[in-house]
A = this chain, B = another copy of it.
Amino acid sequence: MIETREGYAPQSPETLSAYLSGIERVRNILGGDPSRWRIAEVGDGNLNLVFIVRGDAGGVAVKQALPYVRLVGESWPLPLSRAHYEHMALSEQARLTGRLVPEIFHYDETLALIVMELLEPHVIMRRGMIAATLYPRFAEDISTFMSRTLYFTSDLALPAGRKKAMIAAFAGNTALCKITEDLIFTDPYRVADLNRWTSPQLDPYAARWREDGDLKVAVSRLKLKFLSSAEAMLHGDLHTGSIMLTPEDTRVIDPEFAFMGPMGFDTGAIVANFLLNYFSQDGHATSPGERDAYGEWVLATLEAIWTSFREKFLALWRENPAGDAYPASLFQGAEGEGRLETERQSYMDRLWADTVGFAAAKMIRRILGLAHNIDLEWIGDKDRRAVCEARALILARDMMVKPGDYPSVSALAERARRVRRDVIRY
C-alpha cells in the first residue's frame, strides 16, 4: 500500500513555484518575481524528486520524498518519513561539520520536502572520477566529515543518555535500513530477482558467490553488526554518488539512510567506492596506460583519507573525551594516558578491520546486486568491464574472508595494485 498523508502531494514545477513563494527566506534567496523562476525536475537518483529552482538573485535545490521507490514505481512503497531522518541527520552533520553539507533553508515535514543550497558548479563525485578529475581537497574534507560526525555521535564523546536518545530518534528509519540489509548483505549471495551482473561473463562468479560458505558467514557477521552495533550516527549511504564537489569545495548530500550503526559502514563505503573506481579506470582508458596516473591518484587519495581520518579521530578523542566510554577518570597521569593511547590505537585497528569488511560487502553488491556504479556500468565493452569487475570481486572476497591480511590501508592499496596487474581476464 502506498502511504498517504494529509497535506502531502508530490510537487510539480507549477505547484512548487507557488509553494516556495510563500516562504520568505526562499523568496529572498531566489529574488525577483516568482513568475520568472525557472524550475526543472532533475532527479536522477533512485528514490526522490529533485528540483532546481532559479530566480533573478539565486537558486535553491528542492528534494522531496515520494511514497515509493522512484526507480521501481508504486510497486515498491517507501515511507515519506525518510525526509524526516534526512533532515535530522543533515542538521546534525551541519552542526558538526559546518560547510561540508549543503545549507538547509526550509524543511516541511508534511510535504517531506527540504529546500537547500543549490550547489554550483559542483558535480557528483562519481562522475568527476570517471572523467579522471583530480580533487586535491577531498581527502582532507571527507576525513574531517567522517571523523567529526562519527566521533561526536559515539560513546567516546556523548554521555549515555544523549546517545540513547539519538538511537531512539533514528530507530524508526527501518525501511531504509532494510534496503541496505537486503541489497548489500543478503541478495548478492543468493538467487534474487533484483540481482544483475555483466552476463554471461560473470555468471561463474555469481554462481560461486552463492556457494561460498566462508563468504556467506563473513557477510552475515557484518550484517549482524549492522543490525546490532549502534556505535555512531552514520550517513548510511556514503558513496561517491552522495558527494558533490569541485576541486575546491566538498559537500556530502543525501543522508536519508542515516541511523545509529557501526562506524565501519560509513568508512567502508568510501573505501569501496575508491577501489571500484580504481578498477574501473582500465575500462575507461582509450590507450594503454592512459589512466595509470589517475589510478595512482585514486589509491594515494584512499590512503590519505584513512590516514587523515585516523589521525583526526584520535585527535578528537584526545581533546574531547566527554563520553561515558573510556572515562578519563580511569586513565589519569602519564601511565594512564599512555595505556589509554595504546588502547586508542587498538580501537582504530579494530575500526579498520570493520572498514575492510564493510568495504568488501559494498564492492560486491555493486557488481552482483541490484544497484551498480556508473564507474563500471559506463564501460561499454562488456568483456573489458567484466575484467575490471572480476578484479574488484576477487579483491573484495579476499578482504571479507581474510581481513587480517589487510592490516593497513597501504597494504590494501598494494594488494589492489597487485590484483590489477595479475588478474588479466575475467
Which A residues have a C-beta under 8 Å from some C-beta of B?
Answer: 154-155, 160-161, 163-165, 167-168, 171-172, 174-175, 177-178, 181, 186, 189-190, 211, 213-214, 216-217, 220-221, 223-224, 227-231, 324-327, 329-331, 335-336, 339-340, 342-343
Which of A164, A224, A230, A336: most chain B Cβ within 10 A? A164
User: Closest residue of chain B to A177, judged by CB?
Assistant: B160
Please give the distance in Å from A297's CB to the nearest CB on chain B. Answer: 36
Known contacts A178-B161, A213-B335, A330-B189; A227 and B155 CB within 8 A of each other: yes
Number of copies: 2
User: Closest residue of chain B to A343, judged by CB?
Assistant: B217
In-complex Cβ contact of A168 among B171, B178, B228 (8 A): B171
B160 close to A178 (CB less than 8 A): yes
Give the CA-CA distance A164 to B178 in the complex, in Å: 11
Give the CA-CA distance A340 to B331 in the complex, in Å: 41
Beyond A216-B339, A228-B325, 19 additional pairs, beta carbon < 8 A: A155-B227, A163-B227, A164-B172, A167-B168, A167-B171, A167-B230, A181-B324, A186-B330, A190-B329, A213-B336, A216-B330, A217-B340, A221-B343, A223-B324, A227-B324, A227-B325, A228-B230, A228-B231, A229-B229
Please give the distance in Å from A300's CB to the nearest CB on chain B. Answer: 33
Give the CA-CA distance A172 to B163 in the complex, in Å: 11
In-complex Cβ contact of A167 among B163, B167, B325, B342 (8 A): B167
Please give the distance in Å from A223's CB to the nearest CB on chain B. Answer: 6
Please give the distance in Å from A313's CB to the nearest CB on chain B. Answer: 15
A174 close to B186 (CB less than 8 A): no
Minimum-distance CB pairs A-B, first 3: A213-B339, A168-B171, A161-B174
Give the CA-CA distance A286 to B211 in the complex, in Å: 64
Known contacts A167-B171, A171-B171; A186 and B155 CB within 8 A of each other: no
Give the CA-CA distance A164 to B228 in the complex, in Å: 9
Q: Please, which residues of chain B bring their CB within 8 A of the CB of A340?
A: 217
Q: Please, which residues of chain B bring their CB within 8 A of the CB of A230?
A: 167, 228-230
B231 close to A343 (CB less than 8 A): no
Q: Please, which residues of chain B bring their CB within 8 A of the CB of A224?
A: 155, 325-326
User: Closest residue of chain B to A325, judged by CB?
Assistant: B224
Please give the distance in Å from A133's CB to the nearest CB on chain B. Answer: 38
Interchain Cβ contacts under 8 Å between A and B, 5 examples: A155-B224, A168-B172, A190-B329, A217-B342, A217-B343
Known contacts A168-B172, A190-B330, A229-B229; A220 and B163 CB within 8 A of each other: no
Please give the distance in Å from A227's CB to the nearest CB on chain B. Answer: 4
B168 close to A220 (CB less than 8 A): no
Q: Please, which residues of chain B bring their CB within 8 A of the CB of A342?
A: 217
Please give the distance in Å from A378's CB to the nearest CB on chain B. Answer: 31
Q: Please, which residues of chain B bring their CB within 8 A of the CB of A186?
A: 327, 329-330
Please give the distance in Å from A327's CB to the nearest CB on chain B. Answer: 6
B189 close to A160 (CB less than 8 A): no
Give the CA-CA distance A230 to B91 in the complex, in Å: 25
Q: Please, which residues of chain B bring their CB within 8 A of the CB of A228?
A: 154-155, 163, 229-231, 325
Q: Please, which residues of chain B bring their CB within 8 A of the CB of A163?
A: 227-228
Q: Please, which residues of chain B bring their CB within 8 A of the CB of A217?
A: 339-340, 342-343
Give the CA-CA distance A279 to B301 in the complex, in Å: 57
Please give the distance in Å from A191's CB to the nearest CB on chain B. Answer: 9
Please give the distance in Å from A247's CB to the nearest CB on chain B. Answer: 37
In-complex Cβ contact of A171 among B165, B229, B331, B335 (8 A): B165
In-complex Cβ contact of A164 among B165, B177, B216, B221 (8 A): B177
